[in-house]
Amino acid sequence: MNMPTEQAAMISADEQAQTQETQAPYDKSDVTLRDRLIEAGILLDTGEDGLYGRSEVFEDIVERLNQAITMLGADQHAEVLRFPPAMRRRDFEDSEYLKSFPNLAGTIHSFQGNDRGHHRLLEALDKIVHIGEEEERSDDWMDQQKPTRLVLTPAACYPIYPLVAKRGKLAEQGAIFDAFSYCFRHEPSIDPGRMQMFRMREYIRVGSPEQVMDFRQKWIERGSLLVGLLGLPFEIDLANDPFFGRGGKIVADSQREQQLKFELLVPVATPDRPTACLSFNYHQDHFGELWHIRQADDQVAHTACVGFGMERTTLALFRHHGLDVEAWPAQVRQLLWGDKASLIEQGLANLGNKA
Ligand code: AMP
Ligand code: ZN
């Protein structure tokens, strides 16, 4: 996650081109699933790639998945924290997100001018409001937009770390948090699994290396349990994050070598390239160092998180079980609409890894 840039800069342009390719081209099946969902009114097309409205049926599934995740983590007694999908710009600056993914970040700008500026803004707007062609619409009116002190949240766990740090030293047993947020990533795509705004449910562990590694292992098992109960084919693999720039490949290789991030992949819109629906991250002491999070014995805290991609998991269900939720397999229906508790309790008992 944090490779020194000098070392990273040694990578050749060729290698970079290869890295970028891994995120690349869409195939026909991307379009098909997206079109089918839009045609069925399950997703609503806003006209902008990666930005969708959600129908009642889509939201119902997201909510029920969320409840299942809560049940799966009930024994964690996590502290539930909810933030709006924005965070303090200075916390974001300190997070070093911009070292890795400057191209994905979203900043929030706002008009901060006076009456004269407002007048200029309206004049510029007047020139474009009736123009249908995107390329002919000048964005002059934005000249006066200035950065606010907020940015869009890139991952649900980001607002948690500075908050934990402010509370002072951790207790002996460390801490566990439960977060849920819309997140923003500027990666417009026609692949419905690659949205610009999507929701992430997370559990976050802060503590000793042993505590956070145990946590991550447990959640790899529990995430697999959930996705298995949802009747979805999946595999767990090391992640291949699209780190930016010339050094991106080196950073990604290092992340893989150190096994810092695993993903649970399900074929969604691109059968030949399964999509990461859950991720399991070990940040080592990265956030602990950045924000001076201390364990009870004064050592720097380590952190880990498990992220559930709510839209991607929902899309995977539609992809594998069809668009008619009434016709989904009985066990999937039970997990979402019926007696979740018994399925989840049974599954956890089989794993034998409570608390
Ligand atoms: P990450 O921080 O990249 O590991 O993302 C955590 C989870 O969020 C992933 O496992 C995905 O399920 C989901 N996710 C990431 N990027 C997107 C996206 N562009 N659209 C929808 N879901 C996403
Ligand atoms: Zn996280």
Mutate which of 43, 183, 186, 196 for ligand 1 pocket (most atoms within 8 A of beta carbon): 183
CATH of residue 73's domain is 3.30.930.10
pLDDT at 158 over 90: yes
Residue reference for tokens 């619409």? 137
- 125 and 253 assigned to the same domain: no
Residue 248 CB neighbours (<10 A): 21
Residues 320 and 271 sit within 8 Å (Cβ to Cβ): no
- 40 and 127 assigned to the same domain: no
- 13 and 127 assigned to the same domain: no
Question: Residues lining ligand 1, CB < 6 A?
Answer: 155, 185, 187, 193-195, 198, 200, 263, 276-279, 307, 309, 311-312
Rounded Cα distance between 311 and 326, Å, is 19
- 50 and 122 assigned to the same domain: no
- 275 and 135 assigned to the same domain: no
- 90 and 198 assigned to the same domain: yes
The answer to whether residue 127 is domain-embedded is yes
3-state secondary structure of 35: helix
- 250 and 130 assigned to the same domain: no
Tell me the one-letter amino acid at 82.
R
What pLDDT digit, counting tens, does each position of 12-61 carry? Answer: 333 333 333 344 444 445 559 999 999 999 999 999 999 999 999 999 99
Cα(202) to centroid(ligand 2), Å: 6
The encoded tokens of residue 169 equal 């030293």
3-state secondary structure of 146: strand
Neighbour-count burial for 175-205, b at 16+ CB within 10 Å, e otherwise:
bbbbbbbbbbbebebebbbbbbebbbbbbbb
The answer to whether residue 1 is domain-embedded is no
Q: Is the pTM of this model over 0.75?
A: yes
- 204 and 345 assigned to the same domain: yes
Q: In terms of residue numbers, what domain contains 74?
A: 6-106+154-351
- 232 and 327 assigned to the same domain: yes
The answer to whether residue 234 is domain-embedded is yes
- 64 and 197 assigned to the same domain: yes
Q: For residue 135, what pLDDT band results from cuts at 50, 70 and 90?
A: confident
For the chain, the domain total comes to: 2
